[in-house]
Amino acid sequence: GENVEQHPSTLSVQEGDSAVIKCTYSDSASNYFPWYKQELGKRPQLIIDIRSNVGEKKDQRIAVTLNKTAKHFSLHITETQPEDSAVYFCAATDSWGKFQFGAGTQVVVTP
Amino acid sequence: DVKVTQSSRYLVKRTGEKVFLECVQDMDHENMFWYRQDPGLGLRLIYFSYDVKMKEKGDIPEGYSVSREKKERFSLILESASTNQTSMYLCASTTGLAGGGVTDTQYFGPGTRLTVL
């Protein structure tokens, strides 16, 4: 089955700097790669996603890149702000809709 | 706006009790999922369902069972609760056609924090 590894487990950045989180997956049949943000005490919420027919997607300060050959995808947050502090999860899934999540990255943005 | 609700936010049970966690979604989604979330382990899939009366084991089904009698409702059952089942339980739903369709994002419920004493 699918296995998703996520790094780093914690990430501390200065406000205004960029943050990058990387994930690798094992199943070449995976075709959908969402990223979720979970603030303390709240449910995970989708922040951006990418499908296997696209190499890069951007939404304001957030971007995701996908390298299908290498089976890895990354989340990039630019100009980080204190409200970006949260746990971020990557996931991979195939057309059957079974999601496999990474272990999560705790991002701390310090003023 | 998609709404996924769970029956309880906090639950305290004793070892050996039978525990029911319920999840309801209002968007006519075909797929529903139960995860448990533990620090450092991310979201681990317990069971999922593609349709009414259908269920599939996830990665950690031991000690759990599920029921899906109606499309909008997916229940997680702990037949005999144990202390190692103390965790945050998250339900999720998504549209998308199994076996070749286009997968869409998952929408999560608020979670149930279960403590087993």
CB distance B7 to B21 below 8 Å: yes
Q: What is the DSSP string of B72-102?
A: TEEEEEESS--GGG-EEEEEEEE---TTTS-
Provide the shortest C-alpha distance from residue A97 to chain B (in Å): 6
At B40, list the tokens: 């450092």
- Range A90-99 average pLDDT: 80
Pairwise CA distance, residues A81 & A91, whole Å: 24
pLDDT band per the 50, 70, 90 thresholds, residue A98: confident
**Extended beta strands in chain B, E state:** 4-6, 10-13, 19-25, 31-38, 42-49, 56-57, 64-70, 73-78, 87-94, 107-108, 112-116
At A45, list the tokens: 């919420």
Residue among B15, B17, B12, B23 nearest B76 (CA)? B23
Q: B31, exposed or middle or buried, with CB in 10 Å at 0-12, 13-18, 19+?
A: buried
**Extended beta strands in chain A, E state:** 4-7, 10-14, 19-25, 32-38, 45-51, 56-59, 62-67, 72-77, 86-93, 99-101, 105-110
Residue B10 phi/psi, 5-degree rounding, is -135, 140
- Range A11-25 average pLDDT: 97
pLDDT of B106: 86
pLDDT of B97: 56
**B43 interfacial to chain A (CB closer than 8 Å):** yes
pLDDT of A5: 95
At A47, list the tokens: 């922040």
- Range A52-74 average pLDDT: 93
pLDDT of B96: 65
Which of A101, A105, A106 best tests the B interface by mutation, with the highest count of B CBs <10 A?
Answer: A101
Pairwise CA distance, residues A33 & A17, whole Å: 25
pLDDT of A96: 66
pLDDT tens series, chain B, 117 aa: 668 999 999 999 999 999 999 999 998 888 899 999 998 888 999 999 988 988 999 999 999 999 999 999 999 999 999 999 999 999 999 876 554 455 678 899 999 999 999
CB-CB under 8 Å, B106 with A99: yes
Using CA atoms, how far residue B49 sits from A24, B23, B40, in Å, is 26, 12, 26
* A94, pLDDT greater than 80: no
Pairwise CA distance, residues B48 & B93, whole Å: 9
Provide the shortest C-alpha distance from residue A111 to chain B (in Å): 25
pLDDT of B57: 92
Hey, what's the torsion of the CAs at B62, B21, A32, A101, to 10 degrees?
Answer: -50
